[in-house]
Structure 1
Amino acid sequence: MLLEPGTPLKVGILIAPGFALMDIAGAHSVFGMAPNTELHVLWKDRHPVMAMPDFPCHASTTFDECPPDLDVLVIGAVGTSAIEDPQLIQFLRKQCPRTRFVISICAGALLLGAAGFLQGRRATTNLHLIHTLEAFGATAISGGEVVIDGPLYSAGPATGSFETALMVLARLRGEQIAKLLELTIEYHPRAPFNVGTPELAGPELTRQTLELYADFFRRSTETALEHYRSALEPQR
């Protein structure tokens, strides 16, 4: 599975209107700092897009220019308007099956669900969406660990971006390179308040965060399910 010495590591990182910057920042750092990496920041065009929270950027590579033989494709949460975009879903339906490793961070699972890539696979996501994965044909795995199922590496938000990237880097460049990168970026998270899971936070704080983002995730899920179900129609 290791790449031959001298072979570029081809990595695509999806951006889109309303994408969650924290979901891709870790993977961008890990792969971008790895030696001999060909990094493609992907969107359908090069027009500026705004991340969430506000952070303006633009793609380096359009969908039409994306190499068909990516080694890694990184997908994090995006805004509802991006999930509604059929061009994005079509790109994922075409690109995911021919990519060696697909990394899903947080609500990136909704995009993969919409594209049909979760069907029959074990996967995880954030606490707001874990209960929705079965509707996309997946087996939902909670607990906060990186979940590996064949080419799919899925995780929750924030630190999951670093962890999945380091694990996939080890598969492609070897464990020694991955260890070197982990030390170089001094990846050793220590949560200041130790409430980063529902179990640690307790029911009241968990209820508050679920309520805070309930409308956003409900709209995003409904949109993703429309794509998924429409793709299933010819099979029925």
Structure 2
Amino acid sequence: MTNESMKTDIPSLNRLRGATAKKGAPPFRVGIVIGPGYFPLDMVGVQAVLGTMPGAEIYLVWKSREPVEGFRGWWTIPTATFSDCPDLDVVAVPMMPPEVQNDREVVEFVAARGKTARYIIGVCNGVLTLGAAGLLRGKRATISYNSHAILPHYGVTEVVESGVVADGNVYTAGPSVGSFEAALLVAEQAFGRPVAQLAEFIIEYDPHPPFGTGTAAGAGPGTVAKFQGMMADMISLYHAEALKVAGNA
């Protein structure tokens, strides 16, 4: 079964799809790596933005086509496997649990596709998979707040605290809204600013954080400490893998 045969055949939806691209636009293939426990918010921006691009084909890639549960209760059916995924224009990696991100098949797939893709996106701690795949050496990058100290082990030369960092064809971002912002910058590079601006308006991307606690500075020491405690186990596992990779480099 192909992505084309799996499309929902709803006339109004088909007309909307057609409005985003002239008929016969060359394929623009986007592969988003998923797996058990992946964080949907870190990939939905990539899917929403790049799904509006001319010729867009979105592939949700995992080892098999068996459903996987994103965190939490977000069941997802992969549409391609590591072995049958076509050549990609974009490879994107959201945050996944360290046991999944550090899996050798995952890292090897990202490493192989990262060498041939036009654009590479890492969101939140998914950035660490790019590092394990050897795609961050000598680059500037950013990541989730808790993992800044891990990036140098993967050869990152400058760790940026927040936002989106573009270095060559590699785009790294913090969690959640970072997936939208990295994807919009990729859209600009691939199709030009007017197309990216239209995509931004189509999804009405205009964040208004109600509490202003989305950064460490805004959250305050108590909230930061609580979050660090919640993430300590995962961060230790991410860190251990980074040290192992650095030791083998």
Q: TM-score, normalised by structure 1?
A: 0.90
Counterpart secondary structure, 1:33: coil
- For 1:132, give the aligned amino acid: I
Q: Supply the distance in 2 between the matched residues of 1:115 and 1:95 (Cα, whole angstroms).
A: 10
Q: Confirm whether residue 59 of structure 1 aligns to residue 81 of structure 2.
A: no
Equivalent positions of 1:1-236 (< 5 A) are: 6-68=25-87, 70-227=88-245, 229-230=247-248, 232=249
Q: TM-score, normalised by structure 2?
A: 0.86
Q: Supply the distance in 1 between the matched residues of 2:165 and 2:47 (Cα, whole angstroms).
A: 20
Which runs of 5 or more structure 2 residues have no equivalent in the other structure?
1-23
**Shift of residue 225, structure 1, vs aligned partner:** 3.9
- For 2:41, give the aligned amino acid: M
Q: Supply the distance in 2 between the matched residues of 1:95 and 1:101 (Cα, whole angstroms).
A: 10
Larger RCO, structures 1/2 (Cα 8 Å, 6+ apart): 1
Q: Supply the distance in 2 between the matched residues of 1:217 and 1:124 (Cα, whole angstroms).
A: 15
**Shift of residue 101, structure 1, vs aligned partner:** 0.6
Q: Supply the distance in 1 between the matched residues of 2:243 and 2:168 (Cα, whole angstroms).
A: 23
Contact conserved, 2:90 with 2:121, CA < 8 A, in 1?
yes
Which runs of 5 or more structure 1 residues have no equivalent in the other structure?
none
**Shift of residue 174, structure 1, vs aligned partner:** 1.5
**Shift of residue 135, structure 1, vs aligned partner:** 1.1
**Shift of residue 6, structure 1, vs aligned partner:** 2.2
- For 1:49, give the aligned amino acid: V
Counterpart secondary structure, 1:34: coil
Q: 1:9 to 1:38 in 2, by over 3 A?
A: same
Cα deviation code 1:176-233 (max 9, x no counterpart): 1111111111100010000111112222221121111111221133234434544x2x
Cα deviation code 1:106-146 (max 9, x no counterpart): 00111111111111111100101011101111134333221
Counterpart secondary structure, 1:12: strand
Contact conserved, 1:123 with 1:141, CA < 8 A, in 2?
yes
- For 1:217, give the aligned amino acid: I
Q: Supply the distance in 2 between the matched residues of 1:229 and 1:57 (Cα, whole angstroms).
A: 35
Contact conserved, 1:83 with 1:224, CA < 8 A, in 2?
no
Contact conserved, 2:42 with 2:175, CA < 8 A, in 1?
yes
Contact conserved, 1:130 with 1:140, CA < 8 A, in 2?
no
Q: Supply the distance in 2 between the matched residues of 1:75 and 1:225 (Cα, whole angstroms).
A: 20
Counterpart secondary structure, 1:223: helix
4+ residue segments displaced more than 4 Å? none
Q: Supply the distance in 2 between the matched residues of 1:140 and 1:207 (Cα, whole angstroms).
A: 25
Stretch moving more, 168-177 or 134-143: 134-143
